[in-house]
A and B are shown apart, each in its own frame.
Chain A
Amino acid sequence: MTTPPASPIDPSAAARGVPALDIRGLRKRFGPAEIIRGVDLAIPSGERHALIGPNGAGKSTLFNLISGLIAPSAGEVWLHGAVISALPAYQINRRGLSRSFQVTNIFRRMSVWENVRCAVLWAKGERYAFWREIDGNDDVTARTHQVLTDINLLARKDIPAGVLTYAEQRALEIGITMAGGCNVILLDEPTAGMSRAETERAVELIRRISERRTLLIVEHDMSVVFGLADRISVLVYGEIIATGTPADIRGNAKVKEAYLGEEAH
């Protein structure tokens, strides 16, 4: 009804030059402390955009504002040309924006299969149906199967999600985020705490799922950021101090001083 089934990139909107995600003058204040101090950022459809910045810069807060977990003090967020910043989280999700969490946020007592299937249900039109058998929807079953194959957890589908290994839980976190078929995906430090090999697999997965989708990713691992992103924004103390291609950002003096200086020895 209210929700068009989320499909990868709306060609007409993209052709008109409407950004998939458009953040305008966004501010967030907690008491006297202003954590987000006027962020402007437009991400065109199909772009992989990385958000970097030192700890405490406000990256996760920005994600919480965009995804509707908390309300902004001022400013707006636009999704495909419509304001979403006054909407509750579940309506933002129905409009095609999905996010993952920095701290794994899954359904621990339910099986891996059910975790993914729950994330598929709304997009497949099941809503709050209590008069249909869940196993009867082949569309839902097929999509769940597909997502589990993508995140390489099909063999573990009957296990309670809470007993998966850490890396598997991170993969499931991404699976839940993408399962509904949203076309704007926000990933909050998807590779945090992973080994080198696990990170490589995760990056491969992220690259695959973000094809024909718009991606905004917070990441601390610079090799991931520079390998994955079309453009990068640098957030420092609640402000974006630079946005540009990986090459631009590498050469940017302000960024070097504020952030990369410490990391890129």
Chain B
Amino acid sequence: MNDRVTTSAPAAAPAAATTRAGAGALDRIAPYAGWIAFALALVLLPLVFRSGTALTMMSLMGINIIFSLSYNMLLGQTGMLSFGHAVYFGLGAYFTVHAINAAIASGLPIPLFLMPLVGALGGLGFAMLFGWVSTKRSGTAFAMISLGLAELVGSSSLILRSFFGGEEGVSTNRTKLLHVLGWNFGPQIQVYYLIAIWCFICVVLMYALTRTPFGRMCNAVRDNPERVQFIGYNPQVVRYVPFSLSGLFAGIAGALSAVNFEFANAAIFSAVQSGNVLLATFIGGAGHFIGPILGAVLLTYLQNMLSDITDVWQLYFGLMFIAVVMYAPGGLAGLIMMHRTIWRAGVLWRLGPAYALMVVPVALVGGGMVLIIEMSPHLSVKEAEGSVMSMAGIHFDARSWQPWAPALVTLFVGAAWWRRGWRRVGGAWDSAQRIAREKGLLV
């Protein structure tokens, strides 16, 4: 969460007695406006975006929001870099698949809606087990242990075939459980709402955790684990608790994924899965509670859209990650918060001209890079398919020099232009921040 959220001040003075009852009620719900908007969005989105593709994608977004937020309990809140978060997601998924199959086999009347609790327990249990070892260390040692544990579980999943089902995995049928209110979870829309409800519950719970004494001590351990010992806290315990809880929420995300796909296989433990949640969290912004939500939504969208358009979509992810690390280490949320301060100071318009001048160089650099990136695989991995390709309706041969020359020229001209434009952006920022500082909005 935002590190500067807190004031001790009691909530705003009670509404004056003369206020009309209606206004009083409005005041009472005002602090929850964001939550109400979030809930409404979850309910209404499938009415706006009705296509099957959109429903599938929004279901994945809900799952990834939970997964990324659970990851940020470690990365952003407690300062623990994990390379193996997919372990708890995957175990949550497997436990859920087996639980659904067991419920079907035994005929126990358990509704599908409660199945994520199985994933939660699976994730929590194994996080408590593995965390017992890994949270004894922090920093690089913790990161390495997390990587080792991910390898361990990943390779076990190929060996212990009775539980993990090897590469084929284990499948299930979500429609065969007890039907409540006539919902059989055949149609994707019903699965979407199941995911949306769990997503809302998990987001509220994880936000609430940041507002507790424990949540605050996580931040303290992130900032300075040594000092924490001298205010009475054991930093190992402060690492262990969020690790366990983050396993719980990752387990719920995995369970929802199992419900969504009716399937889990060994790929769920892959390093790609652990890497994606790191990318989503970092690109969204680990320093703010909302960051991982933005990151999960954006990356899920790009993953689905880009993979339709290009074969090398992961390369674009990588480039985006590098750009964020280098130019916006606070992620999307960090950028938004920076601009919010400037907006509050009433000088956001000052950035306008500088930003406008960046449009052309950004387009040139982007265009040049895309062209080069798209042509490259035609010379290497896709050589067999021939080197003739088309972009934006234009056909050309990736092996001739004609498309390469304009691509390189565009890239270099754009880069030079970028450097000059960027200096202007820097200048505009400096002056806007100076004004914000004078108004006491920035320190």
Contacts and interface: CB of A to CB of B under 8 A. Distances in A.
A and B are interacting partners: yes
Contact of A130 (B3, B6, B212, B231): B212
Interface of B: 3-4, 6-8, 208-209, 211-217, 219-220, 222-224, 226-234, 237-238, 241, 245, 443
A107 B214 CA distance: 15
Contacts of A111: 3-4, 6
Pick the most buried of B209, B213, B223: most chain A CB atoms within 10 A of its CB: B213
A123 B213 CA distance: 12
A228 interface: no
B400 to A, nearest CB: 53
Given A114-B216, A134-B212, A90 B223 contact: no
B7 A158 contact: yes
Main secondary structure of the interface of B (DSSP, over half): helix
B245 A89 contact: no
Q: How large is the interface on A (under 10, 10 to 19, 20 to 34, 35 or more residues)?
A: 35 or more
Interface string A93-117: 1100011010001111111011001
Rank and list the top 5 A-B pairs by shortest CB-CB distance, nearest first: A122-B232, A130-B214, A126-B213, A107-B223, A89-B229
Nearest to A133: B211
B231 A180 contact: yes
A157 B3 CA distance: 12
A81 B307 CA distance: 69
B241 A128 contact: yes
A93 B229 contact: yes
A45 interface: no
B269 to A, nearest CB: 28
Nearest to A97: B230
Contact of B229 (A90, A110, A128, A157): A90
A13 interface: no
A191 interface: no
Given A90-B229, A121-B213, A130-B215, 19 more contacts: A68-B229, A105-B226, A105-B227, A106-B227, A109-B219, A109-B223, A110-B3, A111-B6, A113-B6, A113-B7, A119-B231, A121-B232, A128-B238, A129-B214, A134-B212, A135-B6, A157-B7, A160-B3, A180-B231
B234 A132 contact: no
Contacts of B3: 109-111, 114, 160
Nearest to A119: B231
Nearest to B242: A130
A94 B219 contact: no
A176 interface: yes
Contacts of A118: 216-217, 220, 228, 231
Nearest to B241: A128
B220 A110 contact: yes
A159 interface: yes
Interface string A150-189: 0000000111100100000000000011011000000000
Nearest to B213: A126
A130 B233 contact: no
Contacts of B227: 101, 105-107, 176
A141 interface: yes
A145 interface: yes
Contacts of B208: 133
Contacts of B220: 107, 110, 114, 118
Contacts of B238: 128
A75 interface: no
Nearest to A112: B4
8 contacts: A114-B3, A118-B216, A118-B217, A121-B233, A130-B213, A133-B212, A144-B8, A158-B7
Nearest to A179: B231
Nearest to A173: B227
A122 B233 contact: yes
Given A90-B232, A99-B230, A107-B227, A132 B6 contact: no
A88 interface: yes
Interface in A56-91: 67-69, 88-90
A113 B3 CA distance: 10
Nearest to B8: A141
Contact of A110 (B8, B219, B237, B245): B219
A135 B8 contact: yes
B59 to A, nearest CB: 29
Contacts of B217: 118, 121, 128
A127 interface: yes
Pick the most buried of B7, B219, B231, B245: most chain A CB atoms within 10 A of its CB: B231
A108 B231 contact: no
Contacts of B230: 67, 89-90, 93, 98-99, 177
A131 interface: yes
A108 to B, nearest CB: 6
Pick the most buried of A68, A110, A141, A145: most chain B CB atoms within 10 A of its CB: A110
A101 B229 CA distance: 13
Nearest to A94: B232
Given A67-B230, A121-B217, A135 B223 contact: no
B3 to A, nearest CB: 5
B232 A130 contact: no
A121 B6 contact: no
Contacts of B212: 129-134
Contacts of A106: 224, 227
A94 B233 CA distance: 9
Contacts of A135: 6, 8, 211
A93 B6 contact: no
Contact of A128 (B6, B7, B8, B237): B237
Interface string A18-55: 00000000000000000000000000000000000000
A24 B245 CA distance: 44
B231 A105 contact: no
Pick the most buried of B4, B227, B229: most chain A CB atoms within 10 A of its CB: B227
Nearest to A95: B232
Given A129-B212, A132-B213, A107 B224 contact: yes
Contacts of A117: 6, 216
Contacts of A131: 212
